[in-house]
Structures are given as structure tokens and as C-alpha cells.
Chain A
């Protein structure tokens, strides 16, 4: 029979060894993981503008090629910095963390926002990164607007751990492609955002359908999360968008 003292000592030593192993692994692998996250971020920005054949291996090259300008905006929509040099990764806009900036906004502190300009077939597309919360964790994505800063050219969404088959469907083409051609301002120039409608956009009056997409059945909370994320983040960019439309 083992004494209680032995059991406690055994458990304590085991936990310390496991913790040491895990923290070593995490520290050693962190640079590789951060690199992957940066490459994934570039891939997302490019994919929202429908740049063809983006893979993990050519993301950096395509990012440098297609992104012409990386802009940092302040809370009044004024351009603080415009980066156009060759190595697009080093721009301040690229290093801005949306989570931290949106948190500063919620605290009433000054914040800065990134905006990417992509030149695709001679046309300028404006990519806005978005970030919000789903059911289980953060959701994020990119919205590419055409040069009128109103019509959506494409979107990408991603998530940390939404339910596979339900909420996780926000990152599939079937959901994302609904956004193409939708507009975020109505005819009077009022900001409408894009509404994610439970039960389908058929519920909306016909003239509002251009500002809405279908929610995901069984993924209501994630869909609402997308709805709120779009409204909150696009509203934050509103001063810039209205000035340049």
C-alpha cells in the first residue's frame, strides 16, 4: 500500500516535470508558430481580394507583389502612416494587433487601425481586417472593398474553435461568397453594415437584401458574432470611409 505522503510527492514531481517539458517545447517552437501566423495573416488578406493560387509557400511573395500600400489610421480616420516600400511585412500596419487596438477603443483610449490597399488588375481594393467573438472564442477575417469603399469584393473569415459543421462553417466558401457584391452603405449614404440574418435574407424587405446575408443554421451565436463584428469594426473605420467615398 502506498502512503498518502508518497502519493502527494509522486503527483507533485510528475506535475513539475510535465510543466517543465511543456514550457520548453512552447518556447522552442514559438518562433516557427509566429512565422506561420504571420504567413496565414497575409494569405487571409490576399484571399479576401480573390488573388488566385495563394498558398502558404508563396504568400510572402504575392503579398509583396499585390499589396501596394499599408496605411495606419488614427481614431478620426486620418492617415498617420503610409508604407509603400518593398518589404511589406515590416510595415507598422502589418504589426498592429486588432485585438489590442479594439480593446483600447473600448477603454476610450486613442487607437490606430490598419488598412491594406491591393492593386488587382489595375483596380485598387481596400482590405479591412475585422475581429470579434464567436461562441467558443475569437473570430476574425478580412473584408475587401472595391475602390468605391462601399461594394464588397470578397471576405474571408477564420475562427479559433467554433463548432465543426455548425459555427465553423463561417470559414467556408459557401458562407463567404454570399458577401460578394453586397454594399455597406444604402442609397442615401447611411451606413448599414452587413446583417447576418437568421432564417435567411428573404425575411428582409427587398431593398435591404443588398445589405444582408443568410446566417448558418445551428450556428446562430457564431452568426450573430459575425454580424456584430462587421458592425463594430466597420463603424470604427467609418470616419475614413466617409471622407474618401
Chain B
């Protein structure tokens, strides 16, 4: 009886929508769970690599969630972490090869960080916490949601860092020449990784100001 009801559950039931939407705000991997910070600092000096990184991580999280979810009943628990790693590593290498073939410039900028998607805590975290215990479709949504939640923050950070650090957005110069003549200077600090951490801090602050539920009680 109960299985029948579950099979009839709509593809975008409110429960499934939550899987997609929660990671964007209430359980955001970066600002709430504070995972994946290393790559968030490293690839956000410009918008373009940040967007490519966001897409890559979303793809890898979603697909690896689905694969692990399909395999979840057959994976021997003793080697489950190894199985997860093999799946993630395979996907990351494929993504890396595709970037090298079609967006070589971006692949050069991202350099080692594409390979480091393998070690991104968000992906392993979702596999262990969600995909090992849920069906493929919810796992897919969960992967997309978490990837987008990560990507959203990456893009916000990159927007401010590129605007203030290089005076451009997506490579286009926005700050007019006359500003520079009046003595305006690009803030070189914004290019450096520590400023990304401070921007993350500001985002967390703003989010908690508007979403009081996130504030710890004691």
C-alpha cells in the first residue's frame, strides 16, 4: 500500500521542490553548512571561471548522486566510500577533459581546481547523507539544488570581486575611464583570496539578518 502511494508521488511534489530550494537558502552548502570554502576562495576572482565551476560542480553533484542512488542497495557498506570516490573521480575527469576540449582558456584558469572538485566536501557529503538512502529522482534534485546553492554563492562573490577588483563584469569594463582619471583605483585586495572569505562572511551576515531561524539560540 505505502509503496503504491510513493510511486504515484508527483515529480515536483512540495517535498521534492524543497529538496531543490532549501540548499539555495536555508541549508546552503557554503553559507550555512560552510562546506566547499577552499574552491570558493580560489576561483572567484573573475565571474567566468566561477560560473564554469558552478556548472561543473552542479553537474558532478547531480550525476554522482543519481549513480550512487541507483547503486545504493548493492554497494557493500565496507567499501562504500571507495565506490563513491570512484564515481566522483570518473565524473570529474570527464568534466575536466570536456573543458580542455571546448573551453581551453577557462580550463587553464581553473587549472588544478577542476581536479579538486573530487575533494569538494559538498559532493561527498550529499552522497553519504542523501543519495545512499534515497531514490534516484529526489537524489538528482538534491544534487542540482546543492550544486546551485554552491554556484549561487560563488557567482555573488565573483560579481563583487570582479567589479571592485578589476572594474569589470564578465570581462566587460564597467567603471568609466573618467573615474580613474579622478583618482579611482581598482582594489587590488579584492583579487586576493582573503577578500573572498570576507565577502562570504558578509553574505552569511546578511542572510542571518533576514533569516532569523538560522541564528543559534545560545
Contacts and interface: CB of A to CB of B under 8 A. Distances in A.
B112 A18 contact: no
A240 B33 CA distance: 62
Contact of A18 (B86, B97, B100, B104): B86
A164 B111 CA distance: 9
Interface in A18-44: 18, 21-22, 25-26, 29, 32-33, 36-37, 39-40
A56 interface: yes
A7 B94 contact: no
Nearest to A15: B86
Interface residues of B, number: 26
A21 B112 contact: no
Interface string B71-105: 00011111100110011011001100110111011
Contacts of B83: 10-11, 14
A15 B42 CA distance: 31
A39 B193 CA distance: 31
A127 B78 CA distance: 57
Given A36-B101, A36-B104, A6 B94 contact: no
B76 A2 contact: yes
B179 to A, nearest CB: 22
B105 to A, nearest CB: 6
A14 B86 contact: yes
Given A14-B86, A18-B86, A56-B104, A2 B94 contact: no
A56 B97 contact: no
Interface SS of B by simple majority: helix
B104 A25 contact: no
A200 interface: no
Contacts of B79: 7, 10-11
Contacts of A32: 101-102
Nearest to B105: A56
A22 B25 CA distance: 35
A165 interface: yes
Given A2-B78, A21-B94, A165-B193, A33 B100 contact: yes
A165 B42 CA distance: 10
Contact of B76 (A6, A18, A29): A6
Contacts of B89: 18
A29 B104 contact: no
A32 B86 CA distance: 26
A240 B87 CA distance: 53
Contacts of A37: 104
A164 B42 CA distance: 9
A25 B94 contact: yes
A161 interface: yes
A21 B78 contact: no
Shortest beta-carbon contacts, A-B, top 7: A32-B101, A36-B104, A2-B76, A29-B101, A18-B90, A7-B76, A29-B97
16 contacts: A6-B76, A7-B76, A7-B78, A10-B75, A10-B83, A11-B82, A14-B86, A21-B94, A29-B100, A29-B101, A33-B97, A36-B101, A40-B108, A56-B104, A164-B111, A165-B193
